[in-house]
Structure formats: C-alpha cells, structure tokens
Amino acid sequence: MKLFSTQIIVPVDSNSVLQGALEVKHVLEEMIGKYNLGSQVSVVETGALGIYDQGVVLAVFPDDVYYGNVMPSDVEEIVTEHLLKGRVVSRLTIDRSLSSKRLVEKESGKSQQKIVLRNAGLIDPQSIDEYIARDGYGALAKALAMQPGEVIQVLTDSKLQGRGGAGFPTGLKWGMVAKEQSDEKYIVCNADEGEPGTFKDRLILEGDPHSIVEAMAIAGYATGAHVGIVYVRGEYFMSIARLKKAIKDATEYGLLGKDILGTGFQFDIEVYRGGGAYVCGEEFALLESIENKRGTPRNKPPFPPQQGLFGKPTVVNNVETFANVPPILLNGSDWFKSFGTPSSAGTKVFSLSGDIVNRGIVEAPLGITLRELIYDFGGGVKGGKHIGFIQTGGSAGTVLTDKFLDVPLDFASMKTNSVSIGSGVILVASEDVPLLPFLAEVAHFFWHESCGKCTPCREGTLQVKTIMDSLVNRTADPASLQRLGKLLTTLNDTSFCGLGQAAPLAFESALRNFPEVFDQALAESHVPEVCQEEV
C-alpha cells in the first residue's frame, strides 16, 4: 500500500455531483499531475459530508481544512498555495463543524462516536478495504462467534427501534423470525426511500454501502435466513451501483456466500429496483413488488415475520435501522443506550430541507429539539426570515408553528406533544410560503400515490384533494371544513394500510395549529353558482 502525506477528500454523492464535484475532481487530478505531486497527494472519493449549501466541498487531511463552493477555476490556487506552499486559501474555507461527522460529539458531549454516518464522508464507499480498516465486518465476525439468540438479545437490550417511521423494536422483530420454523427465510432491506423530504438512506447507501451488507448478513445469521434482498428506489442509480459493487466485493472476500469466514454460515444478497411507487415503502406492498406484482398491501395479521416474502418468515428493516446494527454489536447495548432519551435510544439521521441556510443531513441523538436542528445545525431560515411553518416526519407528518421549536424529538413525541418524527424529515418554510397551496400539494401527493386497493384511501384522498383545492381557489363551500374533519377521521380509522392511515396527519395538525388560515380561506370563498344550486 502506498503512503501519501496528504489526502484530499471529494464527496461524490448525488447532491455533490449535481453541483459539479466531478469537474472539480478532474481538474484537481490534472493539477496534481501538472505540479508533480502525484507521489505525495492522493485524491479520495467519498460519500456525502452532509454539507449541501456550500457547493463542491474539498477536505484536506491531515490539515483538517475544509474548502467550500470550490469552482474548477479555484483548484490551481488550492494546489499551488495549500499543497505546495502550505498556505491555506482562506477565502474558500468553510466551518468544518458543518460536516455531519462532527455533529454527534457536538451535541451529546458524551462520546466521540458517530453511529449511522460513522463512515460516510470519511471512507471511499467503493473500497471494501477502507470499510474493513474502520472495523468493518468486525461485527459480523463477532456475531458469528456468538449464538444467534445472543445476537438478538444484544439488539433487544439496545432498545433499537425501526428508523423507517413506525419505530417497531428491531430485536423483537428479529426474535419473531428466529422463532419461526421454515425451510426458507428472508432478510429484506427497505431502501424505497420515498417519504418527501427524506434523503438519508440515499446518503447511507452512497456513502457506506458495506454497513448495510454487513448488517443484513448479521440479521441472516441471527434469524436463520440465507437470502437478503435490498429493494432500492428505481431513481437511485448511484445507490444501486455502489450496493452492487459492495455485494460483489464482499462475496469475493468471503464475507458473503457459501462459507462466511469459514463458519459454514451461508448468506447472499440481491438488489431489486422499485418502479416509482410511494406505497411500496409499506412493507407488504414492498414484498408484493419483489414478487413481481402490483405494489399493494396485504391484510395483517399475519405479519411479515410470520408470512412475508413468498409466504416465508421475513425481516423487513429500513436502511438506517440496519446501519445501526454493526456498531451496537461492536460496542454493546449500554453504549447505544447512552445516546438518546429513556423512551428512544440512539441517534436519528434528520434530513433538513426547504428554506433553511444549511440544507443537508444531520445525525443527532434522539431528544434533540427542532430549535437545535434548525438554528444550530441548519443555520436558521434563509434570508433571516421568520418560520412560516415546519413539517416534521414527511408528507405523512405534522405541520407545526414555531411554538413547537423546543419539543424534544423522539419516538414518544407524537404521543406526548403531537409532533411526528417519522423518517426524520425537517422541512422548513419561511413566512413567505403560503400554507394552503403547500397542503394542496400534499393532498395531490397522497391522491396520486394511493394504490387504490381500499375505498377509504382511494376515494378519501381524492375528496381531501378536492377540498384543499377549493380552499386554495376560494371556492370552498361553508360546510367543507366539517367535511374535511370527518374525512380525515375516516381515512385514519378505516384505511387498509399505513398510507391512508397516516395521510391525515398533515391536515389534522395544520387545522389544529393554523385554524385562522382555514377560517380566512372559508370567509373569502365564493361558491360558484352552479354548485350552489346543487347544494
């Protein structure tokens, strides 16, 4: 292995590529050649650093200097000044604490460990050697030396809950599958990230694909499964490519396949692609889709741990949930519980979007407040404006005023404070963004994404959309708010799956937190004459 005195890290995740990261990297390599630095400086591609509003970012190690908004024309200056003469180009430096890798330590003060994003932005995601050098596959080796029941016990003790939105205890789920007697079992990774405003799974898959491969193999060993399937969003081309490479490399290293690490344990992973259907994030709809059917949900019970993929016992976990598994096994359940709140252990990866200064990904211990996320990490609202509204948890999440800024976010906050955490979406809208057209867009989304299997959701989402449009157009009839309230209750009570059940959240919370906006729209409405006659 060649030793370089300086490493320059270039994030080449989807977001960075969009901002020109590949052009900058290309020029950087040219300049390193031009100034004959090829033997001292290496350029390393990594996943996202979690910084998005600073354009193309370059990080120089061991100097620990971060450059932001780097244009191809800036590169020669960085090479000649910084690399040749050791003088930092201060006009381009940015606050390195913006990088998500610093966030856990900044917040908890308890530990220097970052959990889910431990490798993202630090290693070359396409290099299995770099993953291994950072304790990669150590947890798998450790698990294989334990009894399967012991592995599940560690997870149960850790109180890890599913990160996809529902928060089901992971150890309990694995235990249910382990208990089932079956000739075949499956481990499925739900990477059909579709909740609007969520882009954390993409970052994990692009930045640290081996963590998912390793965790799925551990799940296979713990539950007695030999086949893993990752169901990835069809649009996530880079995630799919990196994952396939990780699977191939792990197989070549004997970390997947017939006789893993000489223990006789066999496990293989395949990648399936989604086709652009939000409902396929629902676990049964996802399994149907893998079975080459329309992605519609199934009746529960039986649940997937009893009868899942092809009718066999199946673990379905979100990408972020899996990414937590190897560090828990390596460091123990007490270590994991030292992060978070009594009801919710560990960290959560939040996706900050909308009118916020630093959009991007933040990993912070559960129990963090919206104020810390939006102001300390997000840098506040763009243009120094006030918050108009915040949507947390995704489109199937709550719409809040700034009165909720100090509520601690964890899996209990929906129950205690009516603030949903869902998949970790924090969408901020400034005071300039009108609420009703936004809600109408959310209504269109659910109407479009409803699979049509059950009547309450198929027809209910259409009616919600119609009422929201009439409020936006100021053609709502006087009884529409009452009708909306009833519709939302019916949707929640009677929909077949989580899509219809959770669709009302945004509207119910908006009605509760912004009643004046609805009242004003109603007061300004004129029902078209033709409709009045019908009424």
Partner 1 sequence: MELDNVMRPAGQAQPLSDEDKRFLRELVETNRTEHHGRLSYMDIMFELEHHYGNSLPGPVLGEVARLLGTSPAQLNGFVTFYTMLSTEPRGRHVVRVCTSGPCHVTGAPSIVAELKQLLGVELGETTSDGMFTLEASSCLGICGVSPALMIDDDAYGNLTPEDLPRILDAKRAGGAQ
**Among 135, 441, 459, 469, interactor with partner 1 by CB under 8 A:** 441
User: Sheet harboring 398-400: ordered strands across?
Assistant: 360-365, 347-354, 425-430, 387-392, 398-400
Cβ at position 46, least distance to partner 1 in Å: 16
Of 48, 119, 105, 167, nearest in space to 365 by CA: 105
Which DSSP category does 66 fall into?
Answer: E
438 binds partner 1 (CB under 8 A): yes
257 binds partner 1 (CB under 8 A): no
Number of residues forming the site for partner 1 (CB under 8 A): 57
**Residue at token pair 């005195």:** 5
HEC sequence for 321-365: HHHHHHHHHHHCHHHHHCCEECCEECEEEEEEEECECCCEEEEEE
Residues 443-472 that bind partner 1 (CB under 8 A): 444-445, 448-449, 451
**Among 278, 377, 496, 518, interactor with partner 1 by CB under 8 A:** 278
**Among 149, 254, 276, 342, interactor with partner 1 by CB under 8 A:** 276
Beta strands in 256-318 (DSSP E): 257-260, 265-273, 314-318
Instruction: Using the Cα atoms of residue 299, residue 305, residue 232 and residue 268 in order, give the sign of their dihedral.
Output: negative
Closer residue to partner 1 in complex, CB, 286/409 = 286
Of 85, 457, 464, 142, nearest in space to 328 by CA: 142
**Among 15, 321, 347, 369, interactor with partner 1 by CB under 8 A:** 15
Cβ at position 441, least distance to partner 1 in Å: 5
- Sorted by sequence, the CB contacts under 8 Å of residue 346 that are 6+ apart come out as 115, 158, 159, 160, 324, 336, 337, 339, 340, 365, 366
Interface with partner 1 by CB under 8 A: which range of 79-87, 414-422, 442-450, 526-534?
A: 442-450
Cβ at position 90, least distance to partner 1 in Å: 25
Residues 410-429 that bind partner 1 (CB under 8 A): 427-429
| Burial category of 21 from C-beta neighbours within 10 Å (exposed 0-12, middle 13-18, buried 19 and up) | buried
**Among 273, 371, 474, 483, interactor with partner 1 by CB under 8 A:** 273
**Among 395, 461, 466, 480, interactor with partner 1 by CB under 8 A:** 395
Please work out, in degrees rounded to the nearest 5, the angle formed at the alpha carbon of residue 310 by the alpha carbons of 141 and 295. 105
234 binds partner 1 (CB under 8 A): yes
**How long, in residues, is the chain?**
535
Closer residue to partner 1 in complex, CB, 235/469 = 235
Residues 342-371 that bind partner 1 (CB under 8 A): 351, 353-355, 359-361
Instruction: Kindly list the residues in this chain that would bind partner 1 in the complex (CB under 8 A).
Output: 14-15, 18-19, 52-53, 193-199, 201-202, 233-237, 268, 270, 272-278, 289-290, 292-295, 351, 353-355, 359-361, 391, 395, 427-429, 433, 437-438, 441-442, 444-445, 448-449, 451
